[in-house]
């Protein structure tokens, strides 16, 4: 079975498009590209974390940010965020608020990251089992405890955003 090609834009150090390439090749060469993260909060200010599916190639079974993924070639960042919300968590037609942009670096996997939030979600999202095993809303103190006691069970992206003080910065 042939793997599907997913084109993303390779960008320069100022986030300007240079070319289009398959994401696997972009990662293999450690080229700069774009991604999005969506942070979901309930009415009480708790953040939704997803537990990645055991079938995932990277970080299988680890706790991760609410939703996220790459920006496809020709796609806006907001459209990518909405696509990932729908694909991973079954959340459609919603309004997102961009809260932060992070420059590409080794810590971000050479990705320029646009971070969006979705607030006041009243129920656990319906997860896509190919992507997400389960999910849970965590308070700031619960997440701090997870980071300190079970860091190895979390994705690097989640730990990075926590360490940067971003996860509850806009709450």
What is the domain-level CATH number for residue 156? 3.90.79.10
What is the rounded distance in angstroms from the CA atom of residue 120 to the CA atom of residue 64? 19
In which domain, by residue range, is 19 found?
7-163
Pair of tokens at residue 84: 């990932």
User: Does residue 168 form part of some domain?
Assistant: no
User: Does residue 169 form part of some domain?
Assistant: no
User: Does residue 87 form part of some domain?
Assistant: yes
Asked if 131 and 53 count as a contact pair (C-beta separation under 8 A), the reply is yes
Residue 96: what pLDDT? 94
Residue 1: what pLDDT? 52
Which has the closest alpha carbon to 65: 75, 76, 51?
51
Residue 2: what pLDDT? 56
Residue 123: what pLDDT? 81
- Cα–Cα distances in Å, from 70 out to 5, 23, 79, 146? 13, 8, 11, 26
What is the rounded distance in angstroms from the CA atom of residue 168 to the CA atom of residue 41? 10
Which has the closest alpha carbon to 8: 51, 78, 71, 93?
71
The pLDDT profile of the chain, 171 residues, written as one tens digit per residue, is: 556 889 999 999 999 999 999 999 999 999 999 999 999 999 999 999 999 999 888 899 999 999 999 999 999 999 999 999 999 999 987 889 999 999 999 999 999 999 999 998 888 888 888 899 999 999 999 999 999 999 999 999 999 999 999 999 876
Residue 122: what pLDDT? 82
Asked if 96 and 16 count as a contact pair (C-beta separation under 8 A), the reply is no
User: Does residue 97 form part of some domain?
Assistant: yes
User: SS3 of 14, please?
Assistant: coil
Residue 52: what pLDDT? 94
- In the chain, the number of structural domains is 1
């Amino acid at each position: 079975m042939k793997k599907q090609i997913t084109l993303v834009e390779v960008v320069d150090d100022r986030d300007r498009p240079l070319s289009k390439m398959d994401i696997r090749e972009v990662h293999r060469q450690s080229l700069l590209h774009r991604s999005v993260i969506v942070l979901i909060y309930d009415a009480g200010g708790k953040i939704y974390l997803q537990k990645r599916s055991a079938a995932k190639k990277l970080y299988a079974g680890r706790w991760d940010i609410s939703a996220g993924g790459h920006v496809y070639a020709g796609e806006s960042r907001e459209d990518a965020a909405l696509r990932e919300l729908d694909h991973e968590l079954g959340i459609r037609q919603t309004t997102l608020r961009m809260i932060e942009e992070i420059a590409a670096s080794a810590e971000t996997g050479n990705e320029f990251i646009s971070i969006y939030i979705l607030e006041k979600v009243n129920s656990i999202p319906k997860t896509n089992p190919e992507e997400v095993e389960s999910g849970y809303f965590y308070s700031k103190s619960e997440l701090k405890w997870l980071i300190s006691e079970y860091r190895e069970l979390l994705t690097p992206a989640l730990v990075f955003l926590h360490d940067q003080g971003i996860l509850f910065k806009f709450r």
